[in-house]
Structures are given as structure tokens and as C-alpha cells.
Chains A and B, each alone.
Chain A
Amino acid sequence: MTTTYAVLSEGLEKRFGTVHAVRGLDLAVARGTVCGVLGPNGAGKTTAVRLLTTLLRPDAGSARIAGHDLVREASAVRRRIGVTGQYASVDGDLTGRQNLRLFARLHRVRGPAERAGELLDRFGLTEAADRPASTYSGGMRRRLDLAASLIRRPDVLFLDEPTTGLDPASRNQIWDAVRDLKREGTTVLLTTQYLEEADQLADDIALVDRGRVAHSGSPSQLKALIGTYAEVVVAHPDALAKAAGVLDRLTGAEPSFDHERNAVGAVTGDPTLTLPRLVRELDAAGVPLLDASMRPPTLDDVFLRLTDRKEQAA
């Protein structure tokens, strides 16, 4: 295949009555990469995934998934994707093995029983294979869900909040599985509420807010949008003003004070402002310095900055 993008959407829109859930979604996910879709609750992440996996028909716009038109070639798209999410689940009344055999049969896999056995083994479910899925723990259930979406080695795997509500051990298992899949060449699009998850797994991040992609780029690019946070702690409160003056001159940004800790900080996008230079400048200005730090922003900072939190609270 010659297409560079496994997922390419332009201007996708979806309304539910008066709610405009997705309003012009432009998304490009390069083949073989992991794309993290981040956004506050109600941003339209889930609707976006439901559109891209043929579960909903878009009102406007277009998309190609693994080279096939989302609407006109929906069944070709379905042959090439795997979907795991809150809404695409397995049958709790069937055992793990029965579920996987059923999906293998529906996928026209030759040797459905063997394929089911392989996947149960890969996801550490062999022992529980013959118990109803409804008796599984949250982590086992999620692994079975994931196994079910890998029946026919999808070109593109969609994971909607794959680790929400899981304990750390189960979460790590899912993360390892995603890394393995990427190594095997599968493109993964995952939505998450956890910035750490996106930071750990994603090559690229799309920050979704109010139904469209507000920002996108690699985690480091997004962090660069915010800049570095420089903070200094001084020996006594009288020195705060002088320190703030130096920070203001160096960063050009409004300093913010933490009077309890005698600290003042500011955000900078200037790559030449390093910690040694900051310390030299403060020392030259006679600031009684106790501590100084330059901290790269976390994705949490990015998230809080680039999405409108007031809108979300409303």
C-alpha cells in the first residue's frame, strides 16, 4: 500500500439533535505510529472514534481508514480495523474461548479454534479460557476485549480509553501489548484521559476540544508550545520583588508568586535560557538564592493550558 496515513479525516461532523458533538475533525495518523487522542470529557473523543470505526455515519466530511473510504467502503474498513472500547465489548455469557472462536468465525479466519488458543495464550488467559467472561476481573476482561479486536491482525487498532479503571499492573500489561503491536507494524489510535498514558505510548498527540483537534504534534512539540517553567526560591520575602524583576527581564512573561515558599516563577520559550545562566543572572543582581529549577512542562500543563477549562466546567 502506498498511503502514508492509516487514518486521514477531513472535516468530519456529527450532530445529535442540537448537540454538535464533532465539528470538523481533521486527523492524520501515519502508518505504524501510535496516536493519542486527548481531551476533556465531552470533547467529542468517543464520538470521533465511533465515526472512524463505522459505528456512526458522519453528517459531513470524509475519512480514509487504511486507504478505504469510511462511508462508501465501510465493509472494507471493517475488515482492516480492530476496536476495543467501553462500547465494543465481548459477550459476558460466553467463555473467553467461545467469544474468540465466535469472532474468529465471523472474521472468516481459517482455524478459529487455533487462533482463539493463540490469543488466549498471548494475553495470559489460557487458565480462565473456559469460564464465562462475566466472571473475569477488570484487567482480564480488557485483555479479552483487546484479544477480540486482534483476531485478524488489524491494520488500524482503535482503543477507547483502554486502561480506564485498571490497576497499575493490568495497565502495564495493556501498555506492553500496545508497544508490541506497534513493533509489529499496527497503527494504533487510542483515546485516553491519562496524560501519562499518552506520554508513554503515543508518537503523536491530538488534543481534542469542543469537537475538533485543537492542537496536534509529538509530546515534545506540545510541551514546547508551553515552554519551560523557571522557578526560584529566595532566602527572605523582601528579595522576591528583585527576583521577579530578573525573571521578567529574562522571560518576558508575567511572574507568578508562591509567598508561602518565598518562590517566584515564570514560563519561558527561550531555549538559550538555561539553569546556569538563570543562576548567574540572579547572582549578579544580588538575589539571595536558595533554590532554582527549570522544569519541562508535563502533559498536564499542556492539557490545562491548551483546553478551555472554564468551558469544560460549564
Chain B
Amino acid sequence: MSALAYDGTAMLGRQLRRVRNNPALAILTQTMPITMLLFFGYVFGSALAMPGDAYRSYLVPGLLVATAANGIMTGMFQAAQDSHRGVTDRFRTLPMSRAAVPLGQASADLVVTAVGTVPFLLVGLAVGWRVEGSVAQAAAAVGLLLLFRFACAWVGILLGLASRSEEAAGQLGSATFMLPLLSNAYIPTDRLPGWLRTLAEWNPISAVTTALRHLFGNSPVPEGAAWPVAHPLAGSLAWCAALIAVFAPLAVRRYARGEG
């Protein structure tokens, strides 16, 4: 096994052991989107023009993607914590692959997210959401969701390694909850004023959400949208590829150099 695979697996094990030692945090994190589904679905849903059932079906893919975007926050938290508590530097004094630490973190995050998606989808089914397309398309939707999460984790890892303190990372990380607000995750974008609609539709969350709605067969691709939303599959893949291509090498470089 190559050094990267060996060390990366060891680091993946480390992260999963941390979750097992302290499951409360992971459970809380995974419960949040369920709470939001129930809250938005029934409270907001009853005030919208759309029937409640239809809104809840619309909301499930949106919340999945909004939760995946939280990978930025989680990645930042963990990287900043390791970096400011001296754990990162301990690894950097070891004869191990330079890329293994961030890669292990991103991979572990992926595993935890995949597991956490299951209860969310079960609650989704309970409140009326259905897989209306083929099984293969649904599997593709989950794959795309995880790819997007992986991309977001790398963004977070870079920002966390570059953070001045754990507190600073915490504050900036919490601010990322606003990202899905300016997208089609919770509301359709077609009635937004022109410039705001353009901005929202170029938000990567919008492309991935549209792709999931399309693949699950929940709602059609909206007409007259910006390119990434009008071509949601190509748009999402392009966004994920671009984020990973930019942020993963920067995060690894940052980790290896250890200074700004």
C-alpha cells in the first residue's frame, strides 16, 4: 500500500474513533437537518402557495444539499482545532505522507455524512417525500451529494488551517449557514429580482439542489435559469470539480508548509 493510502487510512480511523468516543456531537449535527425539515416543512409550508406535501418534497433535496454545504463549517472547525491545539504539528513532525492528514479528515467526514443521510431520508419519506425517478438515478443523486460534501470539506479544511484561532474559525464557520439562504435550496429562485436571481443561481448549492430534484424526480429543471441550474448535472459536476481542484491542493500545501 502506498504511504498516502496507509497514512490516510490511519487518519480516517482516527477521525472515526473520535466520533465513536463522543457520539453526542455527531448525533446533534445529524439531527439538525431533520429538525429543520419538520420546522420548515410544516411551519413555512403552511404559509406558502405550494401545497404542504409538495413543499416538503421540494425541501428534502434542498436540505440535503444545504447540510452538505455545512461541510465547510465542519471542516473548518476540525482543521482549526487540530491546528491550534498542536495536533497538526505533531503529525507534521512524523515521517508520514503530507496529504494524508487533510485527506483522512475529508474522507472521515464523507463517511459520517453518508451515515447521517440515512435517518434524514427516512424522516423525509415519512413526511411525504418520494423517490419518483429510477433507482439508478436516485443512487446518482446520493453520489453527487457526497461528491459535493467532499468538495465543501476541502474548502473548510483550507479555511480552518488558515484561521487565526479556533474562535475565529467558529465564527466564520457559523456564518456559512447563510450560504443556502441565497440559493434555491429552500425557495424557488424564479421570482427573485433579476440580479439576485443570477447570484442565487450561480451559487453551487443551487446547481446541486436542482440536480438532486431532477434525479429524484421531485421537480423539473426550472426554465430560464442561469447555466449551472439550467444544466444541473453538468453544472454540479463542474462546480465540484472546480472546488476540489482549487481547494484540495491549496489545503495540502498549507498543511505541508505550516505557515502563511
Contact = CB atoms under 8 A, between A and B. Distances in A.
What band does the interface of chain B fall in when counting residues whose beta carbon is under 8 Å from A? Answer: 20 to 34
Interface of A: 16, 53-57, 75-76, 78-79, 81, 83, 85-95, 98, 102-103, 105-107, 132, 148
A86 B86 contact: yes
B93 interface: yes
B22 interface: yes
A131 to B, nearest CB: 10
Contact of A106 (B7, B17, B18, B258): B7
Given A78-B94, A83-B90, A57 B21 contact: no
Interface of B: 7, 10, 13-14, 17-18, 21-22, 82, 85-87, 89-96, 257-259
A57 B22 CA distance: 36
Contacts of A132: 21-22
A90 B22 contact: no
A95 B21 contact: yes
B92 A54 contact: yes
Given A75-B95, A103-B94, A93 B89 contact: no
Nearest to B85: A89
Q: Chain B CB within 10 Å — which of A85, A86, A88 has the most?
A: A88
A79 B95 contact: yes
Nearest to B14: A102
Contacts of B96: 106
Given A56-B259, A78-B93, A106 B87 contact: no
B134 to A, nearest CB: 42
B90 A90 contact: yes
A57 B10 CA distance: 26
Given A87-B86, A89-B87, A106 B21 contact: no
A94 B14 CA distance: 8
A54 B86 CA distance: 15
B22 A89 contact: no
A136 B7 CA distance: 27
Q: Chain B CB within 10 Å — which of A16, A79, A106 has the most?
A: A106
Which 10 A-B residue pairings sit nearest by Cβ, starting from the closest? A89-B86, A78-B95, A79-B95, A83-B93, A93-B18, A88-B90, A87-B86, A87-B89, A105-B10, A88-B89
A98 B17 contact: yes
Given A83-B93, A102-B14, A55 B86 contact: no
B14 A55 contact: no
Contacts of A102: 10, 13-14
A203 to B, nearest CB: 24
A107 B95 contact: yes
A94 B95 contact: no
A106 B93 CA distance: 11
A51 to B, nearest CB: 11
Contacts of B259: 16, 56
B92 to A, nearest CB: 6
B258 A55 contact: yes
Given A86-B86, A93-B21, A53 B93 contact: yes
A213 B19 CA distance: 46
B92 A92 contact: no
B94 A92 contact: no
Contact of B87 (A79, A81, A85, A91): A91
Given A55-B93, A78-B95, A94 B86 contact: no
Contacts of A79: 95
A103 B94 CA distance: 8
Nearest to B86: A89
Q: Chain B CB within 10 Å — which of A54, A105, A148 has the most?
A: A105
A91 B92 contact: no
B257 A88 contact: no
A232 B244 CA distance: 76
A86 B86 CA distance: 7
B94 A56 contact: no
Contacts of A83: 89-90, 93
Contacts of A86: 86
A78 B89 CA distance: 12
A107 B94 contact: yes
Nearest to B96: A106
Nearest to A89: B86
Contacts of B86: 85-89
A107 B86 CA distance: 18
Given A88-B93, A93-B21, A93-B22, A56 B258 contact: yes
A103 B90 CA distance: 9
Nearest to B9: A105
B45 to A, nearest CB: 39
B257 A57 contact: yes
B93 A81 contact: yes
B88 to A, nearest CB: 9
A144 to B, nearest CB: 11
A55 B89 contact: yes
